[in-house]
Each structure stands twice: as C-alpha cells, then as structure tokens.
Structure 1
Amino acid sequence: MKLKTRIVISFFVIILEPLICASVAFWAFSQHQLNVMEEQYGIENASYDSLSNTAEVINSMTDDIAEELRETAKKDTKELENEDYLNRINGRLKEVHSYLLVREGNQIIYYGNENYSSELVKRLPPYASIEDENSEEAIDAQDNDGLYLGGTVQALVKQINFEKPDGTQGSVFIVSSILKTLPQLKALIKNMMISVVVILILTGLGLTWWIYRGVIAPLDKLRTATQKIKDGDLDFSITPEGVSEISDLCQDFEEMRQRLKETSEEKVQFDKESKELISNISHDLKTPITAIKGYVEGIMDGVANTPEKMDKYIHTIYNKANDMDRLINQLTFYTKMDTNRIPYTFNKISVTEFFNDCAEEIGMELESKGVEFNYSNYVGPEVLVIADAEQIKRVINNITSNSLKYMDSTRARRINLRVKDVGDFIQVEIEDNGKGISAKDLPNIFERFYRTDASRNSSKGGSGIGLSIVKKIMEDHGGKVWATSKENIGTVMYFVLRKYQEVYQ
C-alpha cells in the first residue's frame, strides 16, 4: 500500500471510526438507561425524549406522592397541618428533586425548602372553585396536575386544593425543579464520555501501530543498516516491507548493499591476486636475472675462455633475456586484459598458412629444448578465419609453455599440434605427455592464479595467469577453450575458432 493511500485511510478512520463507535455506544447505553427508567419510574414506552425531558420524568416520579396527598386532603385535612407528616412527605420528595409548600389563605404555613423563591410564591396558581361532591364530610380537593411555571422559576408545580372544616381554603404544592439532571441522564453522559475517551485512545493506538509498522519500523531498519554499512559491516540483508514507497526503498537499499559487498569482495580478491601476481612475477624474474648475472660474471672472470663456452654463455643469456621479455609482455597484457583494453587487430587469416608458420616456429624452439614436436593439419587451404594473428599465437605459446613447465624430464617429452575442420569451426588440439591434471583440478585451470599443486608449482615458477589469458582471448574471438587430461599420461588443450564465410547477396 502506498504512503499516500495509508494517510488518506488514516484520515477517514480517525474521523469515521470514533463517530461510528460512539454512536453504537450511545445506542447501547441509552437503551439500558431507558429500560432502567421504565422499571424505576413506571414510564411506559420510554423514549429518547424521556431522557431529555426532565419535567415528564419528574412528573411521573411524584404521581404516587400526589395521589397520597389527595387522599389525605379528602379524609383528614388536619394531617396537612401536621409538621411530622409533612416532613416525612417532603423527605420523600427530596429524593426526586422536589419539595412541599402548604398554603392556607394567603399565607405559606409550611415550606420544605428554605431557599424557595419569592417569585415562585407570587406565581403559584390561585384556588380553584370547589364543588362539594361529599356533603357529609364537607371536604373536597381539586388539583392542577403538572402546572409549569416558566420564566426565571423553571419549576413544575402540582396543586392539591383542600378546605378545612371551618371553611378555610388551602393548597398543597409539590414543586419540582426541572433544571436537575436525571441520574440516568448523568450516567449516560458519564458512560459516553468514558466511551469517547476509550474509543479515541484505541483509535490513536491502532493508527499509531499501523503507521509505525508501515513507515517507522522499516525506516528504523534502514537507519540501522546505514550504520552497519558506515561501520563496514555488509553481512546482513534487508527484507522489503512497509508501504510501497518504503518497500521499494528497502529493495533498492538491499541491491545497493549487495553491490557494495560484491565490490568489496572483488577488491579483496583483486588485492589478493595482485599480491600473488607480484610474488609470482618476482619469483619468475629472479630466476633469469640470477642466471644472466651468473653467466655475465663468468664472462667477466674469464671462465668462458674458449669460443665454444663464450657462445654457450651468450646464448644462455639471450634465452634468459627472452624469458624475461615474455614475462614482462605477459604482465603488460594482463593489466590490459583486466581493464578490457586489449588491442585486437582482426583480419582474415588463412588457417593453413598461419598454423604452418606457427608450427615451424614452435618446432624449432621445442627441438632446441629436446622436445619432440609433431604437427598435423586436416584443414583445406581455402579455409579462413577472422582473428588477431598475434593474439592467437600468444594462445599457442602460452599453452605450449604451460605444457613444458610440467613435463617429466626423466622421460622423452613430446608435444603434438593438430588442426581439424569440424563443420563451421576449426578446432586446434595441443597434446603433451606430461604428468596430467587431476579430475578435481581440471575445471579450474583457466582461473587466474589457480595452481593444481602449490608446493610443486612454486618451484616451477610461473605467474599463474597464462591459461586465464588464453581463455580471455578465445572468448573475445567468439570461440572457447577447454581441456581433457589423464594423470601420468598427458593433457590435451582444445580451442575453436569460427570459420569465415562469404556472404552473397
């Protein structure tokens, strides 16, 4: 989910969710309080108006007391002058936010609330006309049931009229304040306030957790990962998570970490290879330099005191200088190969002419070293390839040099060069009868600085890059190189080049 979408959803949730939950809570609490009012006050079919209309409820709450006072007014008006009786009635009325006033003539003879309003007394209704319905007792009562006094009084008054035996008129007033809040309404308000607070807290916590999980937590992981990279620690991984934008950022960050790790590992490997190359080159340069120095000292000391010895010394110095020259050329080529700056010059080459010249040159060199050389060409004179003659010659020289290095000097040494026509390719095979290569080492011989036997090869010298150069040159020519070998029998190196085919239109 995108961050923008999450923010929009959060906006609507923080508005709608509290409203919906508060509405449900209000409905549940109000239904409960209405049921309580029906049971406690005897209000039938209580509605939401019952909660807001205090007058209606209070009027209902004082009905029983008003009925009792009517009965008393009919039977015994003296009780309406009895302070104990009136106090007992007034105590019951106080429980429902009401009180008694008793009037005889124009005087208030009893007041159940010391703080009653004088305005209230002025606005009390007058005596109603009394019809003598009970001539025997000459006692009657008539009332105004639920008279509302507005203005500044804000009271609900029930009037119960009576007449004493001496003919004096009186009234009992039940005065109820309609400004008092019902206990049920108070409970409803209290519950709703608590509910709203709880709903807002839960909504806030939920949205905070949702935003934290989608935004803050992934950013914390990115910050931790950045600190690790700063400290040089790249051995960790970041799992994309959170909103879409941050998930993409995590993915990009993970790819960057992997690239940094690969670059770091390549640098470590490059440094290792460079040190190994320097060590190998130093070893290889030291051997011919030592030989040249020894033969030059022999000439200077007069050891080469015959023309034959002098020729031998000079020839040896020349060969060692050539070895150094080849080594330096190989090192120069390696640096160009590592930066992909090998200077290729591709031309159409006659396979037969090229390999005949190579065989003649290699044969002379191998014969001077006491190595038997055989050359076979099975390709027609018309076959051409597109190649760099100098680099292909380097491939052949590197392979033969590698074969010579690991040949057993205790038996006759032999190298065979064969050139074959294999369809769209020409295949070159260079076979020796050396010590061979084990099956576990064979797949790795074209890697840089790989040695099948480090203890044995260190004495033989070699930079360890000859066959890797062969592989690089063949790949750049669109060909490939591989080898087969049997231990104590010999090795065969193969490489192929695509034939040149004329395109006719």
Structure 2
Amino acid sequence: MNRISGITYRITGLMFLSIAVTVFLLIYLADEQMADLFQQYLVVQHMEMKQGMGQAMDYPVMPHIMGPQEMTFLASVHKSLIWVGIGIMAAGLAASYALARSITVPIRKLSHAAEQLEQGNLGQTVPVETNDEVGHLAVIFNRMSQTMETNTKLRRQLLVNIAHELRTPLAVIQGHLEGMMDGVIEPSKEQLSSLHEEAVRLNRLIKDLRDLSLAEVRQLAMEKMPTDINQLITRTVLMLRPLTDEKQIQVGCTLAENLPEAVVDADRMSQVFYNILVNAIRYSPHQGRVQVTTAGHDSPAGQWLKVSIEDKGQGISPEDLPYVFDHFYRGDKSRDRKSGGSGIGLAIVKQLVESHGGQVTVESDMGAGSAFHVLLPAAPPAKSSAAGVQSTGKEKRGELH
C-alpha cells in the first residue's frame, strides 16, 4: 500500500512541478516585458496625441514618465498574473493528483486481489473501469483468476475421480482375498480370473493416468517418423474385430488413395484411433455401423490429414459436448466403469493429438450419433524417402490381403 501511495505522490509531484515551472516562466516573462511594452504604448499614445493637435515633432522622442495611475495599473496587472498563476498551479495540482489516482487506484485493487489469490481466495476479480492499458491489465487478471479457480476445481475433482476409480478395483480384490483367507470364498479358477481381470484393469488405469499426466506437460517420450495413417487405421480396425463381432457392428473404411504420410509416433497414434473406435463401438447400437474416413485437407497453414470416425449411437447432449475431452467425463452418470470405461480415454486422445501438433474435434446430434475428427500435419515431401514410400505401400497391400 505504501508503494502505491508513493507512486501517487511521485506522479503528482512531477506533474505539479512541470506545471509550476511553466507558470513561473510565463509570469516572469510577462512581468519583464509588461513595463517595457506599456512604456512604448504610452509613447505612441503621446505622439499620436501631439500629431492630432497639429504640433510638429521637431525634437527627439523622450521616454514618457509614468505617473501614479500608470504605476497602479501595472501593479494591478502584476497582482492579477500572480493570482492567475496560483490558480493554475492549484488546478494543476488537483488535476495531477486525480490523474495519478486514476492510474494507481486500479493498480491498488489489482494488488489487493493478487494478495487474496496468494492467500488461497480464488476467483477474485477487479472492475474494468477504463479501456486503456490499465483496463486491459484488469481484464487479463480477471481471466487469469477465473482460470486458476476453474483449474483448481478440476484438479480437486480429478483427485476425487482418481480415488474413486482406484478404490473400486482395489475393494474388489481386497474383498475376494479376505473371503478366500476366511474360507468364505473357495479359491477357484473363476475367482482367480476375476481377480486377475481387476488387477489388469487397475494396471491399465494407472498406466493411462501416467501417460495422460506426461502428455499434458509435453514430456511423454515419442518416436516420431513418417507413417502411413491408412495402415494404422487398418491395423486398429482388425485389432478390434472381436469387439465388433460381439455386437455385430460393421466398420466401414473409406481411405483416401495417395494420402501423404504424417510424422507421428505410430504406437501413440494407434492408441488415439483405438480409443476413439472403442468409444464409438461401445455406444453404438447392436448391429450398428461405424464409418472411418481419411482425406487430405489443405489450409493456409499447410497440408493436413483428416481422419473422421462416425457412429450412429445415441449422441452427446449439447450440455455435455464441451466436456467430452475432460478427465473422467461420462455423459451418462449412471454408467459404471465396465460399460462406460474409465473416462480418460478421450482425454488421452486430445493430449496425444495435440502433442503431435494436431487437433481433435467432435460433432454430435442427440439420437443421430457422433463424429470425431482428427487433424494431423502432413509430413513435408522432402522428409519422405522413396524407399520408405515403397515399403509402406507393400505393408498396406499385405494388410488388405
């Protein structure tokens, strides 16, 4: 607070000093020139009066000696200049102080709000009263404060969700093991298989959380190289055939020919397509259809690859659509983690795609299905060797057979 007050006084003092120096110079110059100019004026008036009376001016013009009236007039003018100068300096002092406060008061409010943030009182905002740099600073501060509050809430919710997701399989494993130790549950192959399934699910959840946290801070290790996206999609679809056969879902692929390669980590990008396809298959109706399409996409920023995965499921509500890529999101809160997944698959998709310099979007209509679009930057032609292209073509033909 003392620093803010110091700035106010410094700004006020500097502006008042400049005004005072200006006023003093004007008064001094006016005072110096007033007597001479008034003397010349009296001489001219005396000459004109003589000429008007017809008297010849055959003698040198002598300076006119001012009488008491002239001296009184000059003294009143000097006094008026002094009062005008005092008035200007008083007005300048008030204006300087008002201007200084218009700068420092918003800064003081920002400082107080920042201290509240430091003490943990999130969500602090300051009024935006001007449209200048200080007002712009207030807008940025309000935006930062709201973002910090939102991120804190999301972090707390994330910890709660992680605890819930970890507690469920651990409780199942603990309950079965305690039952076996007490003799209530007889150890059997089915029981051990159930425990193993829970352990695998728990391990997968921990691995996904680790990958997600590393991807968010851009520290996830990746081995990027020119890759045929069509080939990755074909492999992913074949890998998911048991899941599609179980629900009798048909997966159609419309893969663009001569699609340029993309510099990606093949394993990570396979995980992206796997998560989106599993999400589409899981929420598609029995005997439904999922369509996968690849195409080139040109933009002013360069050439891109576009991969679209569409399903004919129930769709996502407009209220839930902005949050589908959030951690542990589930549009249907009644779904358990076996039917609805852990809720971090799409969050991993978003982080992995952005780590490759791309972006992922979603479109959905309730009752009509959803469409996920993945945009990836195409590899520069100079980085793709002829041998690499030929090898990719052979692998693609082998998969098609």
Q: TM-score, normalised by structure 2?
A: 0.66
State how far apart, in whole Å, the 2-side matches of 1:301 and 1:412 are.
42
Looking at both structures, which has the greater relative contact order when contacts are Cα pairs under 8 Å and sequence separation is at least 6?
2
Greater CA deviation, 458-467 or 343-352?
458-467
The alpha-carbon deviation at position 397 of structure 1 amounts to: 3.5
Q: Is the 8 A contact 2:224 2:263 kept in 1?
A: yes
1:199 equivalent in structure 2: 81
Residue 466 to residue 219, structure 1, CA distance change in 2 (3 Å): farther
Assess, with a 3 A threshold, how the Cα gap between structure 1 residues 211 and 481 changes in structure 2: closer, same or farther.
Answer: same
**Aligned-partner Cα distance in 2 for 1:489–1:431:** 10
Could you tell me which residue of structure 1 aligns to residue 247 of structure 2?
371
Match of 1:283?
Answer: 164
Q: 1:228 — aligned with what? A: 109
**Structure-2 change in CA distance of 1:413 and 1:494 (3 Å):** farther
Q: Secondary structure at the match of 2:221?
A: coil
Q: Does 1:391 align with 2:268?
A: yes
Q: How does 1:5-44 map to 2 (within 5 A)?
A: 11=21, 13-17=23-27, 19-20=29-30, 27=38
Query: 2 CA distance for matches of 1:458 and 1:202?
Result: 83
The CA deviation at 1:387 is 1.0
TM-superposed deviation, 1:225: 2.9
Contact 2:328/2:342 (8 A) holds in 1: no
- State the Cα deviation string for residues 12-34 of structure 1 (Å, max 9, x = none): 55323564378669849x97xx9
Alignment counterpart, residue 428 of structure 1, candidates 303, 307, 313 = 307
Instruction: Please tell me the residue identity of whatever aligns with 2:247.
Output: V
Label 1:282 to 1:419 Cα distance change in 2 as closer, same or farther (>3 A). Answer: same
The corresponding residue for 1:105 is none
Equivalent residue for 1:412, pick from 286, 289, 292: 286
How far did residue 284 of structure 1 move? 1.9
- Cα distance in 2 for partners of 1:315, 1:483 equals 37
Partner of 1:341: 219
- 1:275 Cα deviation from its structure 2 partner: 0.7
Instruction: Report the residue type matching 2:272 in the other structure.
Output: V
Change in Cα spacing, 1:427 to 1:295, as seen in structure 2 (3 Å) is farther
Q: Determine if contact 1:426/1:497 at 8 Å carries over to the other structure.
A: yes
1:72-221 correspondence to structure 2 within 5 Å:
185-210=67-92, 213=95, 215-221=96-102
Whole-Å Cα distance in 2 between the matches of residues 328 and 16 of structure 1? 80
Q: What is the DSSP-based 3-state SS (H/G/I as helix, E as strand, rest coil) of the residue aligned with 1:448?
A: coil
Contact 2:268 2:352 in 1 (8 A): yes
Report the structure, 1 or 2, having the larger strand content: 1
Q: Which residue of 2 aligns with 1:246?
A: none
Preserved contact between residue 284 and residue 461 of structure 1 (Cα < 8 Å): no
Code of the residue aligned with 2:30 in structure 1: it is: I
Deviations 1:171-227 (A, max 9, x none): xxxxxxxxxxxxxx44543443343223122123324534653x4433223332333
CA distance in 2, matches of 1:475, 1:219: 46
Encode CA deviations 1:331-367: one digit per residue, 9 max, x unaligned: 2233223323232220222445433332233333565
Query: Structure 2 vs 1, CA of residues 363 and 302 (structure 1 numbering), >3 Å: closer, same or farther?
Result: farther
Q: Is the radius of gyration larger for structure 1 or structure 2?
A: 1
Partner secondary structure for residue 360 of structure 2: strand
Structure 1 residues 485, 263: closer, same or farther in 2, change over 3 A? closer
> Which structure has greater helix proportion?
2
Aligned pair partner of 1:317 in 195, 199, 221:
195
Q: Aligned residue for 1:474?
A: 353
CA distance in 1, matches of 2:159, 2:230: 39
Query: Which residue, out of 265, 268, 276, partners 2:146?
Result: 265
The corresponding residue for 2:392 is none
Look up the match of 2:10: none
* Structure 2 CA distance for partners of 1:375 and 1:236, relative to 1, 3 Å: same
- What stretches of structure 2 of length at least 5 have no aligned partner? 1-12, 50-54, 56-60, 114-123, 298-302, 387-401
Q: Aligned with 1:277: secondary structure?
A: helix
Distance in 1 separating the partners of 2:103 and 2:317? 48
Aligned ranges for residues 484-503 of structure 1 at < 5 Å? 484-500=363-379, 502-503=381-382
SS in 2 for 1:416: strand
Deviation for aligned residue 1:276: 1.2
Which residue is equivalent to 1:357? Answer: 235
Q: Structure 1 stretches of 5 or more lacking a match?
A: 39-43, 53-184, 241-249
Contact in 2 for aligned 1:438/1:486 (Cα 8 Å)? yes
Shift of 1:375: 3.9
- Per-residue displacement from partner, 1:269-303 (whole Å, max 9, x unpaired)? 21111011112222222332233334434544667
Residue deviations 1:304-337, cap 9 Å, x none?
A: 658xxx3333333233223222322232233223
What is the alpha-carbon root mean square deviation over aligned residues?
4.5
Name the CA distance, whole Å, in 2 between partners of 1:382 and 1:192.
95
Say if 1:5 and 1:286 are closer, same or farther in 2 by CA, change over 3 A.
closer
